[in-house]
Amino acid sequence: MTQKPNILIIMVDQLNGKFFPDGPADFLHAPHLKALAARSARFRNNYTSSPLCAPARASFMAGQLPSRTRVYDNAAEYVSSIPTFAHHLRRAGYYTALSGKMHFVGPDQLHGFEDRLTTDIYPADFGWTPDYRKPGERIDWWYHNMGSVTGAGVAEITNQMEYDDEVAFLANQKIYQLSRENDDSDRRPWCLTVSFTHPHDPYVARRKYWDLYEDCEYLMPEIGMLAKQDPHSERILKSCDYASFDITDENVSRSRRAYFANISYLDDKVGELIDTMARTRQLDDTLIFFCSDHGDMLGERGLWFKMNFFEGSARVPLMIAGPGVTPGLHVAPTSNLDVTPTLCDLAGISIDAIMPWTDGISLKGMIDGIERTAPVLMEYAAEASYAPLVGIREGKWKYVHCELDPEQLFDLEADPLELTNLAADPAYAEVLASFRARREARWNMAEFDAAVRESQARRWVVYEALRNGAYFPWDYQPLQKASERYMRNHMNLDNLEESKRYPRGE
């Protein structure tokens, strides 16, 4: 093995962690992910830091909560001075590259990555900024609506398939390129992040994957639309324009079927990446992280997409395989905030140099058999909210607070579907008081709210200004130096073919 392991991070989008109780659920057609799970440390109760793409991904890369990154929503700038795992690894000598989505907002579209192989699928500007000054406003041109559910079905190409096909192709091409340096003793170790947009809605899948789930017994949620929703869920339904759509059982089952089909689509992509790693003799020297930014409610409680702290939205898969990682199931709650310190710890970087820059905890101790007791923290301050929400997951408990709403307290062991809010039950007053005290010590909700409002208001001014006159986009433009590819006359043609071949001389 090389002095430092290579690292392959496979990130997917909106994958509900409830379907990964110990690797992929049995009913999922996911042979490659199941094979990866068999040799992975698997974290059953892993959570996003914020159930929305950009804040979740900014937190994932930095190991910092949104209140620290200031990436509150899908249009909040990720400032270039925040250290990410790409910075930490690159500083330690790693080559860092990204193929696919990371939803960076702002002019810095690298955040420590040396190379980006694709553009992003989502915009990099401030156009998707929510506005707490207008509670209940639907911004129709970009807010979620239920058309993803009523339009679920089959297609052989979509916007998202086109993107993920490109992400996988370029990632595999990069793995081949890296293999050519594999035998060089002085080569840099590498970290390649491959980030797909599936199984994120719209719920549309290729026929070959759709057909796998014709007789699936999980095409309807355990709990459908509730007669009475909590206030935040009511806001989500309003933001998704639920009342304007007639959602049938057929719509629900087709949406879930396409979602499961797209997990199988991703499974093929994962299998291709791992097969390329194996054939280029890099697999044994490489740490593999499989993760998602947030989940999808998929009709549970009548809710879709994310934007809340219920299990379907907030719980996400996490599997880690490779040198120094003992396979096994871990059930103590963990967080995507823990990925950055874990990456660095497993890469042999001094954790003391990382901890000032992260709110997470290295999972290496858990992998090595040390019990973890720290709580998992979550925040949400984006569309469908009128004020920030915060959550704490510890032991069997989940606590949720918003200044506008009654508190929520769930016992996830006794009530895994989160149907019984214990916050008003006198029998749990002591438990509630403990969580409330920790929340008050951790968050000043008035200051949090003021910071979000200021950020939104600033961005509305800037966005409206920049859309007037000449417009210079921040979207990443991937460049290829065609003069350095394949065969050119400034290259030594005698050794070109040999240098591009791996393995050599066989």
Domain positions in the chain are 6-499
Measured distance CA(40)–CA(37) in Å, rounded? 5
* pLDDT > 80? residue 2: no
Quick check: helix, strand or coil at residue 223?
coil
Percent of the chain with pLDDT over 90: 90
Contact indicator for 42, 330 with CB cutoff of 8 Å: yes
Residue 171: per-residue pLDDT: 98
Q: Which residue has the tokens 């199941």?
A: 34
Q: Is residue 1 very low, low, confident or very high in pLDDT (cuts 50, 70, 90)?
A: very low
What is the tens place of the pLDDT at every residue in 207-235? Answer: 999 999 999 999 999 999 999 999 999 99
**Nearest partner of 109 among 497, 473, 487, judged by Cα:** 473
Measured distance CA(394)–CA(313) in Å, rounded? 17
What residue type is 357 in one-letter code? Answer: W
Residue 185: per-residue pLDDT: 74
Measured distance CA(281)–CA(179) in Å, rounded? 8
| Residue among 53, 240, 344, 402 flagged as catalytic | 53
Q: Which residue has the tokens 């003069």?
A: 483
Q: Is residue 258 very low, low, confident or very high in pLDDT (cuts 50, 70, 90)?
A: very high
Percent of the chain with pLDDT over 70: 99
Q: Is residue 277 very low, low, confident or very high in pLDDT (cuts 50, 70, 90)?
A: very high
| Residue among 32, 87, 88, 103 flagged as catalytic | 103
Measured distance CA(184)–CA(188) in Å, rounded? 9
N residues, the chain? 506
DSSP string computed for 117-173: -S--SS--SSTT---TTSTT---TTTS--THHHHT-EE-S--HHHHHHHHHHHHHHH
* pLDDT > 90? residue 492: no
Exposed e or buried b for every residue in 61-81, given b needs 16+ CB within 10 A? bbbbbbbbbbbbbbbbbbeee
| Average model confidence (pLDDT) across the chain | 95
Q: Which residue has the tokens 């159930």?
A: 51
Residue 489: per-residue pLDDT: 82
What is the tens place of the pLDDT at every residue in 374-426? Answer: 999 999 999 999 999 999 999 999 999 999 999 999 999 999 999 999 999 99
Exposed/middle/buried for residue 490 (C-beta within 10 Å: 0-12, 13-18, 19+): exposed
Exposed/middle/buried for residue 210 (C-beta within 10 Å: 0-12, 13-18, 19+): buried
Measured distance CA(135)–CA(130) in Å, rounded? 9
Residue 505: per-residue pLDDT: 65
Q: Is 198 part of the annotated catalytic residue set?
A: no
Residue 495: per-residue pLDDT: 74
Contact indicator for 289, 339 with CB cutoff of 8 Å: yes
Task: Residue 58: count other Cβ atoms within 10 Å of its Cβ.
Answer: 31
* pLDDT > 90? residue 189: yes
Mean pLDDT of 124-128: 95
Task: Residue 280: count other Cβ atoms within 10 Å of its Cβ.
Answer: 18
User: What secondary structure letter does DSSP report for 182?
Assistant: T
Contact indicator for 414, 421 with CB cutoff of 8 Å: no
6-499 topology per CATH? Alkaline Phosphatase, subunit A (3.40.720)
Beta strands in 395-432 (DSSP E): 397-402, 408-411
Q: Is residue 479 very low, low, confident or very high in pLDDT (cuts 50, 70, 90)?
A: confident
- Give me 65's structure tokens: 């909560």
* Residue 391 phi, psi (nearest 5): -140, 150
Measured distance CA(74)–CA(307) in Å, rounded? 12
* pLDDT > 90? residue 362: yes
Residue 141: per-residue pLDDT: 85
What is the tens place of the pLDDT at every residue in 30-77? Answer: 999 999 999 999 999 999 999 999 999 999 999 999 999 999 999 999
**Nearest partner of 191 among 108, 285, 316, 69, judged by Cα:** 285
Interacting residues of 310 by C-beta distance below 8 A, sequence separation 6+: 297, 300, 301, 303, 418
User: What secondary structure letter does DSSP report for 198?
Assistant: E
Give me the sign of the Cα torsion angle 459, 461, 464, 465.
Answer: negative
Residue 139: per-residue pLDDT: 87
Q: Is 103 part of the annotated catalytic residue set?
A: yes
* Cα 399–Cα 404–Cα 408 angle in degrees, nearest 5: 20
Interacting residues of 214 by C-beta distance below 8 A, sequence separation 6+: none
Q: Is residue 187 very low, low, confident or very high in pLDDT (cuts 50, 70, 90)?
A: confident
